[in-house]
Amino acid sequence: MLIEFDQAVVSTPQAEVLRGVSVSLAERRIGIVGPNGAGKSTLARLVNGLVMPSSGSVRVDGLDTRQDLKAVRARVGFVFQNPENQIVFPIVREDLAFGLKRLAPDRQQREARIDSQLARLGVGHLADRSSHTLSGGERQLVALAAVLVMEPALIVFDEPTTQLDLRNRNRVRAAIDGLPHDAIVVSHDLELLEDFDRVLVVRDGAIAADDTPAAALRWYREHCG
């Protein structure tokens, strides 16, 4: 999947959040690191049109997020930092079924797809659980399953392991590692990014470094530590 940022600016009345980002991304695993408030989430949200550029453009497989939002959203799934924002239905299964209704009108097919994605993430037993009884790690995995049932080609993760303890962080790391999908992962979990294909460092609304994980993370530690 090819993502092309062309002079993408995001500004608010108070400030310029992203200052003219131009970059093409096509690697299977891309990491984004940077200090708090640098513009990482804004950059990630541009990819699936949750945020639109104030000027410039963002294209996904040649589709402009502004003109082809639906087609972009069908290709790009987004896993939020806080899965509370993502899980809205009282029962896990209902939450996964909601987005699928149009895509898989047949109920049995839909249920099969839901069960298989939950099972693949090791949380098949949670299908009929009440959403509010999930632990933080379970919640993040269910949020990921809800994205996977929609069969996107690329998944963007915004700090997927930030709120998790070590054990759950490892579960989510393993889940991300195991995905055949392309992924863009914003993270402060530098270990997670070590075997990625490419890492961007975002600082002050711009891409300050863009390199192999080893080189980019070294740059990050030296300049932002």
Residues that bind ligand ADP (CB under 6 A): 12, 14, 17, 34, 36-42
Nearer to ligand ADP, 165 or 204 (CB): 204
48 binding Mg ion? (CB under 5 A) = no
Residue 48, C-beta contacts closer than 8 angstroms, at least 6 positions apart = 60, 65, 72, 73, 76, 77, 78, 156
Which H helix or E strand runs over 213? Answer: helix 213-224
Nearest approach, Cβ of residue 83 and Mg ion (Å): 15
Nearest approach, Cβ of residue 158 and Mg ion (Å): 6
User: What are the helix (H) ranges across 104-204?
Assistant: 107-120, 136-148, 166-178, 190-193
Q: Which does 77 bind (CB under 5 to 8 A by kind): ligand ADP, Mg ion, none?
A: none
Applying CB under 5 A, which of residues 34, 38, 41, 83 lies at the interface with Mg ion?
Answer: 41
**Which residue is listed with tokens 């550029």?**
53
Q: Which two tokens stand for residue 6?
A: 């062309």
Instruction: Give the Å distances, CA to CA, from 156 to 44, 176, 222.
Output: 7, 11, 26
Nearest approach, Cβ of residue 1 and ligand ADP (Å): 22
Nearest approach, Cβ of residue 183 and ligand ADP (Å): 17
Nearer to ligand ADP, 118 or 220 (CB): 220
Rounded distance between C-alpha atoms, residue 22 and residue 6, angstroms: 4
Given the rule CB under 5 A, which of 19-27, 38-46, 171-179, 217-225 is the region that contacts Mg ion?
Answer: 38-46
Which residue ranges make up the site for Mg ion (CB under 5 A)? 41
